[in-house]
Amino acid sequence: MSATIKDVASAAGVSFKTVSRVFNGEANVREATREKVEAAARELNFTLNTAARNLRRRGSNLIALIISNPSRSYIDNIQIGAMDWCSRNGFHLVVEDILARPESFEDLIKSGEMAGVILIPPMSDDPDILSALTSHHIPFVRIAPETDNDIAPSVRIDDRAAAREMTQKLIALGHRRIGLITGPNNFGVSRNRRAGYSIALQGAGLEYDAELVREGAFSYATGQSCTAQLLDLAHPPTAIFASNDDMAAGAIAESYKRGIAVPHKLTIVGYDDVAVASVISPPLTTVRQPLKDMAARAAELLLERIRDRDSAPKHDVLPHSLILRASHGPRT
């Protein structure tokens, strides 16, 4: 496999953001640092796509990644994947957090400086944002939208299928009362994962019980609080499926706080397979979605869109998998 910006950063002993600044010719990099990065790139045969570097819209080489997501693990993986692709292909990635600064999106639209925009949930399905980008003729691509459409290209995994498969795994282990901690309902991925969970229950002849479903916010704290609500039920679940790994980590913490051993007394599984999944105890069984690859492919689709505005948008579905670690077990 060819070297990535992360490989160059590791070899040079700097952050991937520093590598990006070097490759984009920014002035605020010390010469010694620049030389280390360039030497590491040569050693690893890391090369940029100079043809793409020459492609510009309004003279811009800026691509904006618009974020508004409480999961830092998710955002970090998306940002690394997008930044690696942008650095290799002569573009500079600008990250705008409209959760922290809502006015930043309007400022971005007015500036007219972006070659294109990458959207992640929940902005991927936000009609006001999609309308604004379309009316200003700014090319964009959507990561993990709820549904495909002809407005813009998209890349995702099949969230319904992934959630269905994980729920079926829990059912096969003998679990009949399976708690679900969803993400916010305004996220299309939350709705798709809940639908996959419901489909699996129906296929096994089990009723959907709203008492077993709690809405979190893709955060560790809400994983804890939602798990507390589920465990306080008169008939608590024997398994909990959290819609991201941060919430699953919070669920494990709440279980241990109550003296409930995972997985011997309670199975807990997650979604994403970010770094926390493999370092917590017990290591987390989870759905793996290739976040870095999704971001890189989104940037590639955006470049194609910039080149040819009139082409039919592509909608890529990347493969997912179940990663089986130690946090799941049979119903006791």
Mode of pairing for the β-strands spanning 315-317 and 154-156: parallel
Separation between Cα atoms, residue 214 and residue 179, nearest integer Å: 8
Please check whether residues 229 and 143 belong to one and the same domain: no
Mode of pairing for the β-strands spanning 321-323 and 285-288: antiparallel
Asked whether residue 81 is domain-assigned, the answer is yes
Separation between Cα atoms, residue 242 and residue 230, nearest integer Å: 12
Between these two residues, 69 and 214, which has the higher pLDDT value? 214
Least confident of 23-32, 88-97, 161-170: 23-32
Please check whether residues 71 and 49 belong to one and the same domain: yes
Comparing CA positions, the residue from 174, 123, 176 lying closest to residue 151 is 123
pLDDT of residue 57: 38
Asked whether residue 323 is domain-assigned, the answer is no
Virtual torsion, Cα 172, 291, 73, 118, nearest 10 deg: -140
Residues β-bridged to residue 178: 239
The whole-number average pLDDT for the span 123-130 is 92
The whole-number average pLDDT for the span 95-101 is 82
- Decide if pLDDT at 198 tops 90: yes
pLDDT of residue 53: 47
Please check whether residues 133 and 83 belong to one and the same domain: yes
**Strand order from edge to edge, sheet including 213-215:** 213-215, 178-182, 239-242, 267-272, 285-288, 321-323
Between these two residues, 108 and 279, which has the higher pLDDT value? 279
Please check whether residues 25 and 129 belong to one and the same domain: yes
Q: Coil, strand or helix: which one is 187?
A: coil
Please check whether residues 180 and 99 belong to one and the same domain: no
pLDDT of residue 59: 46
- Decide if pLDDT at 187 tops 70: yes
Sorting pLDDT into bands at 50, 70 and 90, what band is 52?
very low
Please check whether residues 153 and 29 belong to one and the same domain: yes
Contact 158, 144 (CB under 8 A): no
Render pLDDT for 298-317 as a digit per residue (tens, 0 to 9): 999 999 998 888 889 999 99
Please check whether residues 112 and 254 belong to one and the same domain: no
Sorting pLDDT into bands at 50, 70 and 90, what band is 82?
very high
Asked whether residue 332 is domain-assigned, the answer is no
The domain total for the chain is: 2
pLDDT of residue 9: 86
At 241, which CATH number?
A: 3.40.50.2300
The whole-number average pLDDT for the span 160-178 is 98
Sorting pLDDT into bands at 50, 70 and 90, what band is 58?
very low
Cα 53 from chain centroid (whole Å):
26
Sorting pLDDT into bands at 50, 70 and 90, what band is 34?
confident
How much is the mean pLDDT over the chain? 90
Asked whether residue 326 is domain-assigned, the answer is no
What is the domain range of residue 232?
A: 159-289
Between these two residues, 6 and 173, which has the higher pLDDT value? 173
Q: What is the pTM of this model?
A: 0.82
The whole-number average pLDDT for the span 223-230 is 98
- Decide if pLDDT at 25 tops 80: no
Please check whether residues 19 and 168 belong to one and the same domain: no
Sorting pLDDT into bands at 50, 70 and 90, what band is 19?
confident
The whole-number average pLDDT for the span 261-281 is 97
Asked whether residue 200 is domain-assigned, the answer is yes
